[in-house]
Amino acid sequence: MTYDGRRMTDDVGLCRTCRWVQVVTNRRGSTFFRCRLADTDARFVRYPPLPVLRCAGYEKAPREPGAEPEPYLGGTAPG
């Protein structure tokens, strides 16, 4: 999340705090946000265009109050 002088912006959107996201980093250091819900529900795509601003599948991941987002980190890098 960045502050551009006028408003807070988030290049990822809802996926950042969703219980279904899997954050994947490839060997070149690029980070991808994979939707694990796409594995079982055809309404969702594996790598949604970001930022995701509205999503029928969004479920906020459980977090301790004030904690940084801690998405699922397992899995393999695409390509």
- Which positions touch ligand SF4 (CB under 6 A)? 14-15, 18, 20-21, 35, 37, 44, 48, 52, 55, 57-58
**What radius of gyration do the chain's Cα atoms show?**
13
Residue 51: Cβ-neighbour burial (10 angstroms; 0-12, 13-18, 19+):
middle
Which lies closer to ligand SF4 via its Cβ, residue 5 or residue 74? Answer: 74
Please report how close the Cβ of residue 24 comes to ligand SF4 at its closest, in angstroms: 12
Q: Which residue lies nearer to ligand SF4 by CB, 6 or 54?
A: 54
